[in-house]
Amino acid sequence: MKLRFSKMHGTGNDFVVFDAINQRVELSAEQVRFIAERHFGVGCDQLLLVERPTRNDADFRYRIFNADGGEVEQCGNGARCFMRFVHDKKLSRQSEIRVETASGIIQPRLEADGRITVNMGTPHFDPHDIPFMVDKCALTYELELEGETVTISALSIGNPHAVQYVDDIDTAPVARQGPQIEAHPRFPNKVNAGFMQIVDRQNIRLRVYERGAGETLACGTGACAAVVAGISRGSLDATVHVAARGGLLTIHWAGADTPVSMTGPAANVFEGEIELG
Ligand SMILES: N[C@@H](CCC[C@H](N)C(=O)O)C(=O)O
């Protein structure tokens, strides 16, 4: 089977994107891992599928697979690349579309300056929705790691996030704590681990150890989760610029029960064809 793909990135979080409307794409977890592998495959943090929707109120369906082969609910940087892809491939001429994901509808919109804004939906703090095993809902929780305890906020942006404050992002223990938090038994579906340095009320620096992919150069849902956590804890204003290692995102959240929006770039790098056995 030969498949055409686009290699894309959003602030350095990179993707292999397949048009699964105009070609038949059925991938096993092993094939996803092969494509994502950086030495023997194409290389990416996540693989994205553009499909026809299964519901009437959406224009497209968006499926996301982590580099480890697992299918997940949401991906923010991928959502912007999804919008750029459907426009570049002329699958849609609309400047705003409704996209079905495993965790509901998201709405990407092309901005005049070429960036893309995505309405990512309403964040959830209910531990049951994350899912996170705890007796009652709180703004922060103590999480026991090997020989240390960290204070996290736990929330869902369609996918699960555990966010902690750090003094200095450059020396944050991402490599040591990230894998422990990702696989912590209190997160039965695993979790994305965010490390946020607050610069001032409108600026943060962020690193994310992603579930199923390891540390990436940026994580869109991680940026939404960090800003929502920081606003909820009274540390941040409603609009915040997030500096990730791969670039800058702007996140806006007006507060409880309102959707979070993310603005940032999306770039096509090259087109290719891959033969799968
Ligand atoms: N890079 C993404 C998130 C991709 C999914 C994540 N690793 C998960 O398992 O939930 C983003 O930009 O949001």
Task: Note the pLDDT tens digit of each residue in 108-145.
Answer: 999 999 999 999 999 999 999 999 999 999 999 999 99
Q: How far apart are CA 168 and CA 56, in angstroms?
A: 47
CA atoms within 13 A on the CB side of 72: 31
Q: Is the ipTM of this complex over 0.85?
A: yes
CA of 210 from ligand 1 middle (Å) equals 6
- pLDDT tier at 156 (50, 70, 90 boundaries)? very high
What is the pLDDT at residue 135?
95
What pLDDT was estimated at residue 222?
Answer: 99
pLDDT mean over 215-220: 98
pLDDT band of 256, cuts 50, 70, 90: very high
Residue 196 has pLDDT above 90, yes or no: yes
Long-range interactions of 149-153: CB distance < 8 A, separation 24+? 150/177, 150/181, 152/181, 153/225, 153/229, 153/232, 153/233
Check residue 260 and give its pLDDT: 98
Residues in contact with ligand 1 by the CB-under-6-Å rule are 13, 45-46, 66, 72, 75-78, 159, 192, 210-213, 216, 219-221
What is the predicted pLDDT for the residue at 71?
98
Give the closest residue to 201 by CA, choosing from 251, 169, 238.
238
pLDDT tens string 55-96: 999 999 999 999 999 999 999 999 999 999 999 999 999 999
Assess whether the previous peptide bond of 259 is cis (omega < 30° from 0): no
- Which residue's CA is minimally distant from atom 5 of ligand 1? 75
Dist CA 244 CA 219 (whole Å) = 8
pLDDT value for 277: 80
Q: Ligand 1 centre from 186 Cα, in Å?
A: 19
Average pLDDT over residues 40-55: 98
Distance (Å, whole) CA 33 – CA 246:
23
Ligand 1 mean position, distance from CA 76 (Å): 7
Contact criterion met (CB below 8 Å) for 153 and 232? yes
What is the pLDDT, as a whole number, of residue 264?
98
What's residue 77's pLDDT?
98
Whole-number Å distance, alpha carbon 221 to ligand 1 midpoint, is 6
CA–CA separation, 225 vs 170, rounded Å?
A: 20
Q: How far apart are CA 88 and CA 180, in angstroms?
A: 40
Of 75, 81, 137, 224, which residue is the catalytic one?
Answer: 75
Compute the average pLDDT of residues 14-30: 98
CA angle (27 as vertex; 26, 29 as ends), nearest 5: 150
* Closest ligand 1 atom, residue 70 Cα: 9
Q: Match 């991680």 to its residue by tokens.
A: 222
Residue of 44, 81, 219, 224 marked active site: 219
**pLDDT bucket at 181, cuts 50 / 70 / 90:** very high
* Mean pLDDT, residues 170-193: 98
- Residue 219 falls in the annotated catalytic set: yes
Strands (E), 59-139: 60-66, 71-72, 99-101, 104-110, 116-119
Is the separation of the CB atoms in 10 and 265 below 8 Å? yes
Strand partners, 49: 18, 63
pLDDT above 90 covers a percentage of the chain that reads 99
In the chain, what are the domains?
2-111+266-275 (3.10.310.10), 127-258 (3.10.310.10)
Which phi and psi angles does 231 have, rounded to 5°?
A: -65, -45
Q: Is 176 annotated as a binding residue?
A: no
Predicted local confidence at residue 93, as pLDDT: 96
